[in-house]
Chain A
């Protein structure tokens, strides 16, 4: 049941059409719209498969577009192939955390300002919170979980430990993924360069000196 919720967040009732603009159009009272929303929630909680057929049941109402839509997508994530159906609203961040249970990638601001959710998509660092997963169908995603080789940490992970590149640790996975890209891009030539090119990752603990030192060390060692 819980799994059903995770598979269909759009149907789980958190975004019921009760107050939506379309459902409030002439012909659909708010009460009816709420009832429709309730019916969908009930179905979502009792059925393993929530497909387009559900959408056709309450045919008397104007339904919010897209509410019953899902998209089939595939990714290569940390060298593993993944296929799933998801709501077009789902970000890569939520897909990783809520559907694939890869919780190493963190949700900070959820608006592209802090960098905690940084992952690599087709080798490029992006804010996964602003990336709708459906848009990136077919891409290759690297997350913090994919960096270590077994028990052997990635050189930048080791460098973060060595240089105290964190305090609370919440921004750390984003910092490290951003740092890996920063080094690959060739933007880690000096502490000034590193500060500038890592500025999309905010650390509220202020561990910046350690972060810069860690990136510098990893950049001067073996290229990632």
Chain B
């Protein structure tokens, strides 16, 4: 690991001031420390933000407020989270291992880097790590890559499960930077790779994630996260789906569907949601609606299986959401 300067911030304003002086934020470090050791990330200055007062989780005015430094395990086991959004608990427990969840923060989870093998392979071209060098995954190992939102420059999936669920739940986030505060949908954090895959998010220089806000939904019990992967725990998704259904008089009156492991960013599926409106919650209507997820699907040489796995995962997630009634 290259050496770096280390500072610890006790207040948000100290942290942002350090950022202006060229310091990178260090939270749980489960991504950043790993990538520094691999010399994929080479920050020269780190400001430790772990002691900022942003580890809270609370319910307020029918919203869940999650501080950006709350740890995955603490959010998953929090009573308000389990009451208002058991889907968030389920999603978090499906991500990483207990050891990592005890350390990884919510803000860091949303900003984690991709798991494409070439991103970590220093001698292989990768447009994300080394802009303009090319994408090795296009002709190489691409089993785990995306089928939606790809470009000629990058086909890596975003690895966060939590982001998929937060996008499905219309969560928002607040950030603070040198020029003030902003609040925006979590969905707007992410950028499609296009021809600038090294720019992954919309945060402005120095901006620090303060909090995630999740509005309550009256049908939070009919919401599930299904993660399909090579082993049944502690593995990244091949394909995953968050699904929530509002059922009234045997008919779907509202639906939320988003997919992970399929897109280069967390992939909300509004066309599927619209197709479910007014339908009976049967396997047939789920299958018909899931076809709408296939708009624009473009498989790579090694991941054609995802074209079939994506709608099937959505159908099963919808069935799980329905049967929680």
CA distance A89 to B231 in the complex (A): 33
- A26-34, A95-103, A194-202: which lies at the interface: A194-202
Known: A64-B2, A66-B44, A69-B6. A111 touches B102 (CB 8 A): no
A88 to B42, CA, bound (A): 14
Do the beta carbons of A67 and B3 come within 8 Å of each other?
Answer: yes
* Contact residues, B198-248 vs A (CB, 8 A): 231-234
Which of B28-36, B164-172, B307-315 contacts its partner? B28-36
A135–B50 CB distance below 8 A: yes
Least CB distance from B164 to A in Å reads 20
Mark interface residues in A115-135 (1 if CB within 8 Å of B CB, else 0).
100100000111100111011
Interface of B (DSSP majority class): loop
The residues of A with any CB-CB pair to B shorter than 8 Å are 10, 15, 20-22, 64-67, 69, 71, 87-89, 91, 110-112, 115, 118, 124-127, 130-132, 134-135, 178, 181-182, 185, 187, 195-197, 199-201
Q: How many angstroms from the CA of A182 to the CA of B97 in the assembled complex?
A: 12
Cβ–Cβ contact B3 & A87, under 8 A: yes
Q: Is the CB of B3 within 8 A of A115?
A: no
Size bracket, chain B contacts: 20 to 34
Task: Scan B36-70; emit 1 where CB is below 8 A from any A CB, else 0.
Answer: 01100010111010100000000000000000000
Closest to A109 in B: B34
Asked if residues A66 and B5 are in contact (CB atoms below 8 Å), the reply is yes
Q: Complex formed: what's the CA distance from A139 to B150 in Å?
A: 44
The answer to whether B102 and A125 touch across the interface, beta carbons within 8 angstroms, is: yes
How far is B4's CA from A21's CA once the two chains are assembled, in angstroms? 12
- With A21-B42, A65-B44, A110-B37 known as contacts, the answer to whether A15 contacts B3 (CB < 8 A) is yes
The CA of A91 and the CA of B34, in the complex, are separated in Å by: 11
Q: A201 to B233: give the CA distance in the assembly, Å.
A: 11
Q: Are A111 and B99 in contact (CB under 8 A)?
A: no
Asked if A199 contacts B34 (CB within 8 A), the reply is no
Q: With A134-B48, A196-B233, A199-B97 given, name 14 new contacts (CB 8 A).
A: A64-B2, A66-B44, A111-B34, A111-B38, A115-B97, A124-B102, A126-B99, A130-B33, A131-B103, A132-B29, A178-B99, A199-B231, A200-B99, A200-B234
Interface: B110 (CB within 8 A): no
Q: Is the CB of A65 within 8 A of B97?
A: no
CB distance from A32 to the nearest CB of B (A): 18
Residues of B within 8 A of A197 (CB): 98
User: Which of A66, A115, A181 counts the most chain B CB atoms within 10 A?
Assistant: A66
Contact A125 B1 (CB under 8 A): no
Query: Nearest B residue to A111 by beta-carbon distance?
Result: B34
Give every chain A residue within 8 A of B34 (Cβ-Cβ): 111-112, 130
* B26 adjacent to chain A (CB < 8 Å): yes
Listed by A's residue number, 18 A-B pairs whose Cβ atoms lie within 8 Å are A22-B44, A64-B2, A66-B5, A66-B44, A88-B4, A115-B99, A126-B102, A127-B100, A127-B103, A131-B29, A132-B33, A135-B48, A135-B50, A178-B98, A178-B99, A187-B98, A200-B97, A200-B234
- CA–CA, A200 to B101, complex, Å? 10
- Chain A CB within 10 Å, residue with most, of B30, B50, B73, B97: B97
Contact of B103 with A126 in the complex, beta carbons under 8 Å? yes
Q: Check A199–B33 contact: CB distance below 8 A.
A: no
Q: How far is the CA of A201 from the CA of B96 in the complex (A)?
A: 12
Distance from B30 Cβ to chain A, minimum over Cβ atoms (Å)? 5
For B45, B48, B234, the residue with the greatest tally of chain A CB atoms inside 10 Å of its CB is B234
Residue from B6, B30, B45 whose CB has the most chain A CB atoms within 10 Å = B6
CA distance A185 to B99 in the complex (A): 12
Q: Knowing A89-B3, A196-B233, A199-B233 touch, does A65 contact B45 (C-beta < 8 A)?
A: yes
Residue of chain A at shortest CB distance from B94? A196
Contact check, A118 vs B99: say whether CB atoms are below 8 A apart.
yes
7 tightest A-B contacts by CB?
A: A200-B97, A88-B6, A199-B233, A199-B234, A66-B5, A66-B3, A124-B102
